[in-house]
Amino acid sequence: MIAYSLYGYNAEVLGMYPTRPSNFFRNTLGVSVEVGWVIFYSIVLLFCLIYRRFKQMIRIKSTTLKGIVFGAVMFVFFTELLVAILNAVGGLPKEPDILLKSLSYLIAHLILGITIAHSYEFLYKKLLK
């Protein structure tokens, strides 16, 4: 979550669209920034639970590669699906640079996926065995 947030708040330095999750929820759902952070952390916890099942289904040895694949899957099934649904019901304004925004969110989800994969492996090896 920290890595995702660091990227999101510093993406403009890299020439990318800033992916600030709390602002996304504030703008789309009309909630406060604090509630946006609670929603974001709840979704990340859900991603962690999904990763536990995902890890059992996929046969990749590299933890980093598992994280990249997981981040890409979460991006496609959650972010893009959510954006499509919100666009269908008229919940999002039209974006002029949607490709740059999508690429930025993809990078953020890849970072999040790698972080979740390595965190899970670390916790599983150190605490659960």
Give SS3 for 46. Answer: helix
Average pLDDT of the chain is 79
pTM: 0.75
37-96: pLDDT as tens digits: 888 888 888 888 899 889 888 889 999 999 999 999 998 888 777 777 777 776 666 667
Give the total number of structural domains in the chain: 1
Rounded CA-CA distance 29/36 in Å is: 9
Which two structure tokens, joined as six digits, stand for 96? 């002029």
The mean per-residue pLDDT over the stretch 106-122 comes to 88
- Per the structure, the complete domain to which residue 47 belongs is given by 2-126
Q: Any idea which residue has 């952390």 for tokens? A: 41
| DSSP designation for 69 | H
